[in-house]
A and B are shown apart, each in its own frame.
Chain A
Amino acid sequence: GAGVSQSPSNKVTEKGKDVELRCDPISGHTALYWYRQSLGQGLEFLIYFQGNSAPDKSGLPSDRFSAERTGGSVSTLTIQRTQQEDSAVYLCASSLAPGVRETQYFGPGTRLLVL
C-alpha cells in the first residue's frame, strides 16, 4: 500500500514569509508525528497527534510553529514568519496506533530553505 507522503518535496522561501507543509499518513494510522532534521543534526521531535487526544506539542521550538490534523488524517505544519534557522528537512511519520511499540513509518520529508 501507499506509504507516508509529504508535500512539497522542496520549498524555498524568503525570511518572514509563512509556509505550510503537508503530510498524508498511511491510511488507518491513528498516530502522526512531525520531526525535523537540521544540517548535521539528528531528528528533533516537534509534535505528536494520537487519535482524538490533545496533541503533544512539547517539541515545537517557538510559537511560530503550529500543526493541525484534520479529520484524523492529513496534517499540516505551519511556520509563521520564517527565519533562516528554520531551514531543515521536515519529516512526518505515522503509526498504526499510539505507543512506543508501534513502528513509525516516515515520509521522504520536505526540504525547507529560508533565504
Chain B
Amino acid sequence: DQQVKQNSPSLSVQEGRISILNCDYTNSMFDYFLWYKKYPAEGPTFLISISSIKDKNEDGRFTVFLNKSAKHLSLHIVPSQPGDSAVYFCAATPANTGKLIFGQGTTLQVKP
C-alpha cells in the first residue's frame, strides 16, 4: 500500500530550464510534506517543506506547490543546474508524528 507515489522514476532537463517533479498521496491525514535530495552513497538531505495550510512555499530556486483537493504536490526547480542532478524523494507525515512516509524517488538529470 504505497501512500506516497512518485510515478516518474526519472526526469532529464536542460541546464537553465525548469524541472518539475511530481508526487501524489492517498492519505488525507497527512498534513506536512517535504522534499529530500539524495546523492549516491550519501544520506538524503532536506530541501524544502510545506504545511497543509499553505499551497505554496518558495526557497530560492526551489518552490513546492500543494494541491490538497487533488492530493498532489510538486517541486519546481528553476533555473535547473547540473549540480541539481540527484534523486529527489517526496515525503509526507501525519499530524503529531515525526515518522516520514516516502515516495519511491525520481532521478533528475540536468544536462549542461
Contact = CB atoms under 8 A, between A and B. Distances in A.
A104 B102 contact: no
Given A56-B97, A100-B97, A101-B32, A44 B102 contact: yes
Interface residues of A, number: 30
Interface in A19-73: 31, 33, 35, 40-45, 48, 50, 56, 58-59
B70 interface: no
A45 B101 contact: yes
A48 B103 contact: no
Interface in A55-111: 56, 58-59, 91, 93, 95, 98-109
A45 B3 CA distance: 12
B100 interface: yes
A67 B32 CA distance: 26
Interface in B69-108: 89, 91, 93, 95-105
